[in-house]
Amino acid sequence: MKLVRGLLSLGVGLALSGALVAQDIAVRAQRLHTVSGAVIENGVVLVRSGKISAVGRASEVQIPSGMRTLAAAVVTPGLIDAHSVVGLAGYLNQPQDQDQHDPAAPIQPELRAIDAYNARERLIEWLRGFGVTTIHTGHGPLALISGQTLIAKTRGDTVDESVFVPCAMIAATLGADSRAEGPGKSPGTAGKQVALLREAFLAAREHQRKLREAGDDAAKKPERNLRHEALIDVLERRVPLLVTAQRHQDISSALRLAREFDFALVLDGASEAYVVLDEIKAAGVSVIAHPPMARFGGELENASRATPKKLADAGLRFAFQSGYESYVPKTRVVLYEAAIAAANGLGADAALRAITLDAARILGVDARIGSLEVGKDGDLALYDGDPFEYTTHCTATVIEGVLVSEGAR
Asked if the model's pLDDT at residue 20 lies above 90, the reply is no
Q: Are 399 and 119 contacting, i.e. CB atoms less than 8 angstroms apart?
A: no
- The pLDDT, as a whole number, for residue 9 is 40
**Among 80, 77, 17, CA closest to 47:** 77
- The pLDDT, as a whole number, for residue 174 is 98
Alpha helix segments (H runs only) across 215-300: 226-235, 248-261, 277-283
pTM, to two decimals = 0.94
Could you give phi then psi for residue 367, rounded to 5 degrees?
A: -70, -15
**Cβ atoms within 10 Å, residue 409:** 18
pLDDT confidence band for 341 (50 / 70 / 90): very high
List the domains of the chain with CATH numbers: 2-78+373-406 (2.30.40.10), 80-363 (3.20.20.140)
Q: Are 372 and 380 contacting, i.e. CB atoms less than 8 angstroms apart?
A: yes
Asked if the model's pLDDT at residue 21 lies above 60, the reply is yes
- Give the lowest-confidence range in 19-28, 213-222, 302-311, 362-371: 19-28
β-strand partners of 242: 171, 266
- The pLDDT, as a whole number, for residue 325 is 85
pLDDT in tens, 222-231: 999 999 999 9
More confident call, 27 vs 181: 27
pLDDT in tens, 73-116: 999 999 999 999 999 999 999 999 999 999 999 999 999 999 99
Q: Which of left, alpha, beta for 289 (phi over 0: left; psi -120 to 50: alpha)?
A: beta
